[in-house]
């Protein structure tokens, strides 16, 4: 009888959780839904271990090449990279990558990868979305927070505090696409996190051209006299960055003296998994919209519960699917749930 009571008690505790996870599993098809010709290969076949990230990249001659080498476990990690540099090459022909100014200025709010590819005149077999999900998630977050409406017309500048960068530090050149996404607006990003190497603390980066294609005679090579994307102290650039090592709650007071944010973004934050987020969430001096992302709906749900319990306020932006999540499933996920980088977004 005692054992039966314990089982019933245990079921009451977990019934809600099990029902929630069941609903999340039912939405798996929606998470796998992308417009690309490689979608099945990068989603279902990766989840079923028929394809790996390595094999996917190998078939496209992108394995361990440039920015792509950080897309599988074979690549160098941030922690072990002691001579990092800005990699400014897509390793793709111009027809498969956004290496120059868009043919037509952006005229609509992009709602999907299909919208973005059509605007940038890219074929749906181009794999660039695997790297551009960081940039398009920033774009989506700005749209969700309606930041562009509050930008001072005299400065035309958006200040973003980007928390907890990791793999992004090895793919920073991709953020140059923000120049095309926000024409006429300077985007300045303060990237803050413990993964920033000590020797890069305080480093300033100027992204003044798009990531190059592999074609020698492409016009992307002639811009800025074949100069690198990296400039130590750029002037009037469309996209500028500064790196800071450490936790945001330890560094934000010095950062806001020079750059008060319009928006705070944290990609794949893992708020419920890391106690180090607690003092950051409780920073009350800044009434600034903050948008987070996570790998799966359950992680986002737990993070939302954590934020609400700490702030005693509901989320400003409820948990929702990110249309610009990375279109390749995470391998060997700890949860039996579909996981994608930047999969769900939510905000406070």
Kindly list the domain boundaries of the chain, sorted by start residue. Answer: 24-76+85-217+236-347
Mean pLDDT (whole number) for 294-314? 87
pLDDT recorded at residue 338? 83
Q: pTM to 2 decimals? A: 0.88
pLDDT recorded at residue 2? 41
Which has the higher per-residue pLDDT, 4 or 83?
83
Tens digits of residue pLDDT in 33-77: 999 999 999 998 998 889 999 999 999 999 999 899 889 888 766
Which has the higher per-residue pLDDT, 286 or 1?
286
pLDDT band at 80 (very low <50, low <70, confident <90, very high): low
Above 80 in pLDDT, residue 211?
yes
Above 60 in pLDDT, residue 308?
yes
pLDDT recorded at residue 133? 98
Above 80 in pLDDT, residue 28?
no
Number of Cβ within 10 Å of residue 92's Cβ equals 23
pLDDT band at 7 (very low <50, low <70, confident <90, very high): very low
Which has the higher per-residue pLDDT, 144 or 47?
144
pLDDT band at 228 (very low <50, low <70, confident <90, very high): very low
Above 80 in pLDDT, residue 144?
yes
């Amino acid at each position: 009888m005692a054992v039966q009571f314990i089982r019933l008690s245990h079921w009451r505790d977990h019934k809600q959780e099990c029902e929630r996870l069941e609903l999340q599993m039912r939405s798996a098809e929606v998470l796998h839904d992308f417009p690309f010709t490689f979608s099945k290969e990068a989603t279902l076949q990766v989840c079923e271990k028929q394809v790996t990230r390595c094999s996917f990249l190998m078939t496209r001659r992108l394995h361990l090449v440039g920015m792509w080498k950080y897309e599988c476990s074979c690549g160098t990690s941030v922690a072990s990279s002691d001579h990092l540099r800005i990699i400014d090459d897509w390793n793709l022909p111009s027809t498969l990558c956004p290496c120059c100014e868009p043919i037509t200025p952006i005229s609509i709010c992009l709602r999907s990868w299909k919208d973005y590819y059509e605007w940038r005149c890219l074929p749906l077999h181009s794999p660039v979305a695997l790297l551009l999900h960081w940039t398009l998630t920033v774009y989506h977050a700005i749209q969700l927070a309606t930041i562009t409406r509050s930008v001072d017309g005299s400065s035309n500048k958006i200040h973003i505090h980007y928390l907890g960068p990791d793999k992004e530090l090895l793919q920073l050149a991709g953020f140059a696409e923000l120049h095309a996404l926000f024409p006429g607006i300077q985007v300045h990003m303060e990237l803050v996190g413990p993964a920033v190497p000590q020797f890069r603390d305080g480093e300033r980066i100027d992204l003044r051209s798009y990531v190059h294609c592999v074609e020698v005679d492409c016009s992307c090579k002639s811009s800025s006299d074949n100069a690198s994307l990296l400039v130590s102290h750029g002037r009037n650039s469309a996209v500028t960055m500064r790196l800071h090592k450490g936790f945001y709650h330890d560094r934000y007071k010095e950062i806001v003296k020079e750059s008060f944010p319009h928006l705070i973004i944290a990609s794949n934050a893992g708020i419920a998994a890391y106690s180090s987020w607690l003092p950051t969430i409780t920073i009350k001096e800044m009434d600034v919209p903050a948008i987070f992302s996570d790998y799966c709906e359950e992680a986002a749900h737990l993070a939302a519960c954590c934020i609400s319990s700490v702030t005693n306020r509901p989320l400003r932006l409820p948990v929702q699917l990110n249309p610009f999540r990375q279109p390749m499933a995470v391998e060997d996920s700890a949860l039996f749930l579909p996981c994608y980088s930047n999969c769900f977004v939510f905000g406070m």
